[in-house]
Amino acid sequence: MSVMNKLEWRGVSKQFGAQKVLDGLDLAVAPGRSLALLGRSGQGKSVTIKLALGLMQADAGEVLLDGVDVTHLPARERRASFASIGMLFQGGALFDSLPVWENVAFRLINADGVGRREARERAVEALALVKLAPDVADRYPSELSGGMQKRAGLARAIVGSPSLLFFDEPTTGLDPITAGAINELIRDRVTSLGCTAVSITHDMVSARVIADEVAMLDGGRIVWRGSAGDLDHADHPLVRAFIRGEPLEE
């Protein structure tokens, strides 16, 4: 293999008490590729991303970011390696006490040392990309609808032009038109800007638009992986059930 993976989980295990969530997970994403991570509820998709963000520690295995194992880095170096990551959390995860623009610009102001005026301009530009009008910038998260909060969270994820993006259910709770715009935006980050993206989604329409590749997580490991185009003729029962929205045949 000549090209180094942007991100790789190598033999990663994670359990909570007696519950084994990840059990030797192997998964890699090449630079500039977009991966959709599918799986039934509670199978560990969010945990997989949190491990890569350093929000949780693996019990065993390694998580390599640009070839460097981030699981065992000292905190300061880990923070530096995470500077190039943008993340959209489920539900947006905005700070209620800050206006929307400060939420979006949080990292620019607090980590990148960007002045408040420029940070505000960049926040408003990012809001426009997710179809939020400039007047939204001065409102507070509690004054926005759920879908608008989600889009503000997305603006925050992309504002620093990160090279790696994580999206946890980017289109859940959005109307189909807004969801379509968000899918296109994610696709564009990858195609035009060369970002690498990992998205958790249950929305198969979204997966087909945003992802080059799809991986199905089940029982703590990847049980199927293929291109978005392979989804329709996949012969894995779980993938088939997912695509058709049918109960899983035992």
Ligand X SMILES: Nc1ncnc2c1ncn2[C@@H]1O[C@H](COP(=O)(O)OP(=O)(O)OP(=O)(O)O)[C@@H](O)[C@H]1O
Q: Which residues bind ligand X (CB under 6 A)?
A: 16, 21, 39, 41-47
Q: Name the residue nearer to ligand X (CB basis): 41 or 142.
A: 41
Instruction: Find the Cα–Cα–Cα–Cα dihedral 45, 48, 51, 53, rounded to 10°.
Output: -70
**Alpha-carbon distance 82 to 44, whole Å?**
21
Q: How far is the CB of 104 from ligand X (least distance, A)?
A: 24
Q: Name the residue nearer to ligand X (CB basis): 41 or 192.
A: 41
Structure tokens at 223: 């049980």
Q: How far is the CB of 216 from ligand X (least distance, A)?
A: 11
Instruction: Name the residue among 130, 189, 182 with its Cα closest to residue 165.
Output: 189
Q: How far is the CB of 15 from ligand X (least distance, A)?
A: 9
Instruction: List, as one string, the DSSP characters of 35-103.
Output: EEEE--TTSSHHHHHHHHTTSS--SEEEEEETTEEGGGS-HHHHHHHGGGEEEE-TT----TTS-HHHH
Instruction: Name the residue among 216, 215, 165, 221 with its Cα closest to residue 12.
Output: 221
Q: Name the residue nearer to ligand X (CB basis): 40 or 240.
A: 40
SS3 8: strand
Q: Name the residue nearer to ligand X (CB basis): 31 or 91.
A: 91
Q: How far is the CB of 149 from ligand X (least distance, A)?
A: 17
19, containing H or E segment: strand 19-29
Q: How far is the CB of 136 from ligand X (least distance, A)?
A: 27
Q: Name the residue nearer to ligand X (CB basis): 11 or 42.
A: 42
Q: Name the residue nearer to ligand X (CB basis): 159 or 200.
A: 200
Q: How far is the CB of 44 from ligand X (least distance, A)?
A: 4
**Alpha-carbon distance 245 to 95, whole Å?**
35
**Alpha-carbon distance 224 to 208, whole Å?**
16
**Alpha-carbon distance 204 to 234, whole Å?**
14
